[in-house]
Amino acid sequence: MFFRLYKYSIFQSVRCKLVLFWNVIFPVVLGTLFQMTFGGYVEEQVIFRRIPVAYASEQEDGAFGQLLKGLEEDSELVKVQTAEYKKARQLLKEGNVEGVFCEEPDTGDVTLIVAEQGVNQTILNSILKQYQRAKATFSNIGRENPAGIQAAAVRLEEERRYLKAGSVTEASMDCLLDGFYSLIAMTCLMGATSGLSAATDFKADATSLAARRAVAGASRMSMLLPDLAAKITMQFLYAAFSICYLSFVLGVELGEHGGLMFLTALVGSALGIMIGFLVGVVGKYSYGVKEGLCIGFMLVSSFFSGLMFQSMARIVEMYAPALNQVNPATLIAKSLYSLNIYDNLGPYFHCMGNMVVLILVLGMASFLLVRRERYAAV
C-alpha cells in the first residue's frame, strides 16, 4: 500500500502547478538576479577600488600598521590614513573611511570598528583575522621556542602575501556564495507549505478529504507516512534542481562535495516539510493563516541566514550565536558553506546533526498533537 499511496501523493504534488511554479521559478529568478547584480558588484566594488581605512595608534610603527602599509603598497587593496583615535572615528562617521583599525601599542591587540556591514567590512574583518592568527602563532612559537621566531616571521610574511593574492576575491566571493547558499536553504524551506498540505489532508477537522480518509479502513499512519515521504522527495528534487541550476547554468562554484550538498538538500527538505506539518497540526486556524505563517517563517529564517543581506549570518553570530544553531535556513546554508571552506567535515556534520535533532523534535511535537484520533467537531 505504501508505494501506491506514495505514487498518488507524488502525482498530487507534480500536478499542482502553483507549487511547481514557486519551487522552480522562484529560485531560478532569484539566483539569476543575484548573479547579475552582486556578481558584477563584487568585481567592481572590491577588486578595482581600494577600501579606505583609518589606522589609529599611538606609535607609528605598530606591527599591524606595518602590515597595512604593506598591503597598501603591494596589493592596492586598502588606502590607509593614519590618524589619532578621535579623528579616525570622525572620519568613519563622515563616511570617509570604511573602517578604523585601532592598535594597542603595548599588547599589539587590534580592534576593528565599522559603521555598517557589507562586503568591504567583511574584507577588513578577514584582514584582521589573518593578522590575529599569524600573531598568535608568532607569540606561541616565540614563547616555546625562541629559535622558531625566524620561521614564524617567514610564515607571517606568507600570510601577508596570501592576503594580497587570494583572499580579496575569496572573501568577497564568500559573501556572494552565502547568498546562494541561503537561496538553496530557502528552496528547502519552501517545503513548509507542502508539509502544511500534508497536515490538512490528515487532520479530520481540517478538510472533508481528511475526514474521509480518517474513516477509511486503513491506519492513519499508513496514510500519512507515504504522504510525508512523497513531499520530502519532491522538495528534495526542487532543491537539487536549484543546486544544479546555480552551478551548471549560472556557473557558481558552490564547492566540491557534490554528494554531501545533495544530502544537505535532502535533510533540509525534510526539515522544511516537518516545519509545515507542525504548523498544520497546531491549532484550528484557517489554511490561509497557516500558509502565511509558513511563508513568513521561511522568509524570516532565510533573512537571518543572509538571503537578502549577505553578512546577516555573521551579525547574528556576533550578537545571538544561539540563533544560528537552530535557525533552519542558517543551518542549511552553513552546512553548505562548511563543505566549501573547511578541510574537515566536522563543522558540516555539526550543522547536519543540529538539523536532524530539529527534525526529531518537530516530529515528536507533531506526533503528540495528532495522537488523539477523535475530534470535538469536524
Partner 1 sequence: MGTVIEIDNLVKRYKELIALDHLKLTVEEGEIFGLLGPNGSGKTTAINCILALLYFDKGSVKVFGEEIQPNSYEIKKKIGVVLQNVAVFEELTVQENIDYFCGLYIGDKKLRKQYVEEATVFSGLEDFRKFYPKKLSGGLLRRLNIACGIAHKPKLIIMDEPTVAVDPQSRNRILEGIQELNRKGATVIYTSHYMEEVEQICSRIAILDKGRCVAFGTSEELKGMIKTGEKIHLEAAGLLPFHLEEIKELRHVYKVDYREGMLEIRCSGGKHNLVHILDYFGKREIGFGRVYSELPTLNDVFLEITGKELRDSAE
Does 87 sit near partner 1 (CB under 8 A)? no
C-alpha cell at 269: 527538505
Does 286 sit near partner 1 (CB under 8 A)? Answer: no
From the CB of residue 80, how many other CB atoms can be counted at a distance below 10 Å? Answer: 19
Contact 280, 293 (CB under 8 A): no
Q: Is residue 377 a contact residue for partner 1 (CB under 8 A)?
A: yes
Of 192, 183, 200, 203, nearest to 292 (Cα)? Answer: 192
From the list 81-89, 139-147, 154-162, 368-376, the region that binds partner 1 by CB under 8 A is 368-376
Measured CA to CA, the distance from residue 335 to residue 353 in angstroms comes to 10
Q: Residues 54, 92: contact at Cβ < 8 Å?
A: yes
Q: Among residue numbers 10 through 29, which ones bind partner 1 (CB under 8 A)? A: 11-13, 15-16
User: With binding defined as CB under 8 A, does residue 368 bind partner 1?
Assistant: no
Q: Which is nearer to partner 1, 281 or 316 (CB)?
A: 281
Nearest distance in Å: CB 262, partner 1: 27
Segment contacting partner 1 (CB under 8 A): 7-15, 279-287, 292-300, 331-339? 7-15
Residue 346, Cβ density class (10 Å: 0-12 exposed, 13-18 middle, ≥19 buried): exposed
Helix (H, G, I), strand (E, B) or coil at 100: strand
How many other β-carbons are positioned within 10 Å of the β-carbon of residue 286?
9
Cα gap 331→306, rounded to integer Å: 11
Q: What amino acid occupies position 12?
A: Q
> Does 288 sit near partner 1 (CB under 8 A)?
no
Q: How far is the CB of 195 from partner 1 (least distance, A)?
A: 17
Closest separation between CB of residue 293 and partner 1, Å?
23
135 vs 203 by CB, closer to partner 1: 203
Sole binder of partner 1 in the list 59, 107, 208, 344 (CB under 8 A): 208
> 288: which 3 cell numbers?
490561509
For residues 153 and 237, which CB has a smaller minimum distance to partner 1 in the complex?
Answer: 237
Task: Mark 186-205 with x for binding to partner 1 (rule: CB under 8 A) and - for no binding.
Answer: ------------------x-
**Residue 225 found at the interface with partner 1 (CB under 8 A):** no
Residue of the chain from 25, 36, 151, 209 that contacts partner 1 (CB under 8 A): 209
Contacts with 338 (C-beta within 8 Å, 6 or more apart), sequence order = 345, 347, 348, 350, 351
Q: How far apart are CA 281 and CA 147, in angstroms?
A: 67
Question: Applying CB under 8 A, which of residues 216, 300, 320, 341 lies at the interface with partner 1?
Answer: 216
Contacts of 37 (CB under 8 A, 6+ apart): none
**Least CB distance to partner 1 at residue 291 (A):** 16
Residue 15 or 86 with smaller CB distance to partner 1: 15
List of residues contacting partner 1 (CB under 8 A): 1, 4-5, 8, 11-13, 15-16, 204, 207-209, 211-219, 223, 373-378
